[in-house]
A and B are shown apart, each in its own frame.
Chain A
Amino acid sequence: MKNLDSVLAAYLAGWAIFFVYYISVAQRMNTLRQQIEQLKNSLNRGK
């Protein structure tokens, strides 16, 4: 069904956006987590 294809395409696009957003948030969290580790280590060493 041609029309159902367009519904499917829209659904896929929509969910892709959510996934991409979720992944970007997760990635940024990982980077920050690493930064926190680094900073904590350097602070402890500095003591």
Chain B
Amino acid sequence: MIKTILGAVVLFAAIAFTAYLAFHYAPIEKTMGPIQKIFYLHLPSAFSSFIALGICFYANLRYVFTREAKWDWLGVSAAEVGLAFISVVLITGPIWAHPVWGIWWTWDARLTLTFVLWLLYTAYLLLRSMLEEPDKRALFSSLFGIFAFLDVPLVYFSIRWWRTQHPQPVILGGPGSGLDPRMRVSYLLVWAAFTGLLILLLNGRYKLEAMRASVEELRREAEVR
């Protein structure tokens, strides 16, 4: 209980810290102005989601070859947390873009890729909910996760090539467009805070999965008696 509250405090502190950096410490960008500050939320979220999905892939591989339950726990935790970060990217994008650019969505390469990733990992979690037996659930979702991850670079390249041939308005300009040192520092610190957030959420979700496993075990024991 205390740990939960402590976690929430850490979360809140991280929010406050990154908000301070983004809005007060980092200077206003030359070409885009204050709306550029969305970067301190968008890019770190996207980056953290990629890390989470990488962890998920690694956990999937480990599970298939070792069949140890803890890798399945890590896999589902990483997928869920990764999905949360991707959702943040997908939702904050339109919210920020609409008042500024008048459009909710554009099918540019980055957003489209993010959407496809969201679909892939939602499918992963959906598959898990459709597999009841724990061993089967772990094995088959891991196998799907492996295939899905192998697809990611292919999705990225195909969308990029396609978009260079059919360009769309890019809502979020490229990063590093003349990074002022204060911007660079802010960005690094925010990114560190997001990594911390990732670890915090992963840890919590992993423990939840471990608990679920002990509940199932206890239930089985109770049935035997």
Contacts and interface: CB of A to CB of B under 8 A. Distances in A.
Contacts of A13: 91-92, 95
B180 to A, nearest CB: 18
A37 B97 CA distance: 48
B197 A18 contact: yes
B123 interface: no
B11 A18 contact: yes
A15 to B, nearest CB: 5
How would you classify the secondary structure of chain B's contact residues: helix, strand, loop or mixed?
A: helix
B214 interface: yes
Contacts of B225: 43, 46
Contact of A21 (B33, B201, B207, B219): B201
Contact of A35 (B99, B205, B215): B215
A46 B222 CA distance: 9
Given A36-B214, A36-B215, A17 B96 contact: no
Interface string B13-52: 0010001001000000000011101100100010000000
How would you classify the secondary structure of chain A's contact residues: helix, strand, loop or mixed?
A: helix
Contacts of A36: 211, 214-215, 218
Contacts, number: 102
Contacts of A7: 34-35, 37-38, 96
Interface string A8-28: 011101110111011001101
Contact of B11 (A6, A19, A32, A40): A19
B184 interface: no
A10 B211 contact: no
B84 A18 contact: yes
B96 A43 contact: no
Contacts of B219: 39
B55 interface: no
Interface in B171-225: 197, 200-201, 204-205, 207-208, 211-212, 214-215, 218-219, 221-222, 225
**Centre residue among A1, A11, A36, A40 by max chain B CB count within 10 A:** A11
Nearest to B221: A43
Given A11-B19, A14-B45, A17-B87, 11 more contacts: A3-B100, A6-B35, A15-B15, A18-B197, A21-B201, A22-B201, A25-B204, A29-B4, A36-B211, A36-B218, A42-B222
9 contacts: A6-B99, A7-B34, A10-B92, A10-B95, A13-B95, A14-B45, A26-B7, A28-B208, A29-B211
